[in-house]
Amino acid sequence: MTSAPEESSPGATSLTRVFPRAALGHFPTPLEPAARLSAARGLSSPIVIKRDDCSGLAFGGNKVRQLEYYMGDAEACGATMVLITGAVQSNYVRTAAACAARMGMRCVVQLEDRVAGKGALYHSSGNVLLDHLLGAEVIHYPHGEDESGADANLEARAQAARAAGEVPYVIHLSEQPRPLGALGYVSAAEEIAAQLEHDQSAVRTIVVASGSAVTHAGLLVGLRAIGWDAVDVVGACVRRDATQQAARVLRVARTVEAMLCCGEVVQVADVIVDDEALGEGYGTLNPMTAAAIRDGARLEGLILDPVYTGKSFACALKWAGQKAERPGSTVFWHTGGSPAIFAYGDTLLEALE
């Protein structure tokens, strides 16, 4: 299944072709104008949606692009099992479980308790249900803001598996030497450039959810590496405030640049983050996000979640509504995550009422 690290690899790009990649997703994903919503909101810059929710494999989403490179590396290492950690309603661990099932590997998913006060629905529906359906072994980590501790717990499980004859592959949560998942969005930068016929003047701003910073940093490095310097990439904060997130994005971008040997193509001023829709923090719903979820659904048929895409869409609407100094659309990068809405059903219904 893995694409060999050659120029002729399916889906390979000029920037990432030397890295092994498992071809798991449906690419390119569509670019769709949101004409009704743009008109209803009276936006100064029309919204265009990059539909990575349509990337295939177990409800799709941005993690498919990321995991193509992790799973390609895992297969190249001869892995028999994959271990990954994330929040209870993590899209990442759900997609990893699907990738492992597709590639015949065992999967251990570790769920961290990041959102306080959630009931049985949150802990059994949505992505959690899919984790079990996909055959993953589900374990729990009691802390929600301890990335190094969560990774260490996975490493301990991997060591035990190694002693039992398995070949484990750990996908870390914390900033690590090789954020291979970012390569999926370096490649995505070249994909959208081709879709726009390499006319960067067609786009003014791209807005994407920014949490681990892997998607945000990969896209930013990819665009700058192909010479798209005039397009702003705005990261909508979904876990940390703007100050903390900007520093993280820059650190990850520097690591990705080193992996690609492309030099420091990202300038400090290129790192733009916006935490207005963050509200009370990760996984919490606020009025700005609820309004974006409602309008996306009722005007464009979009399914957005309270954790990532609801907040990033709210941010995209804000940026699209600002007075433009130059022409071009605002691209909302829809990173998926629709299964999580079922875990937030009671909260969402209350907000919509």
How would you label 22-41 residue by residue, b for 16+ Cβ within 10 Å and e otherwise?
Answer: bbbbebbbeebebeebbeee
205 DSSP β-pair partners:
232, 330
Residue 75 CA: distances (Å) to CA of 67, 70, 81, 99, 100: 12, 9, 10, 11, 10
**Angle value at C-alpha 170, between 151 and 172, nearest 5 degrees:** 45
The Cα–Cα gap between 205 and 111 comes to: 34
Catalytic residue among 45, 90, 210, 329: 90
Residue 301 CA: distances (Å) to CA of 27, 30, 341: 21, 15, 14
Residue 48: phi and psi, rounded to 5, are -120, 140
Residue 73 CA: distances (Å) to CA of 4, 69, 170, 216: 10, 6, 11, 21
The Cα–Cα gap between 97 and 269 comes to: 37
The Cα–Cα gap between 309 and 52 comes to: 11
CA neighbours closer than 13 Å in the CB half-sphere of residue 326:
11
How far is C-alpha 127 from the geometric centre of its chain's CA atoms? 15
Active-site residue flag, 44: no
The Cα–Cα gap between 115 and 121 comes to: 13
Residues 204 and 211: beta-carbon distance below 8 Å = no
How would you label 242-265 residue by residue, b for 16+ Cβ within 10 Å and e otherwise?
Answer: beebbebbbebbebbbebbebeeb
Please give the structure tokens belonging to residue 328.
Answer: 């071009």
Catalytic center residues: 90
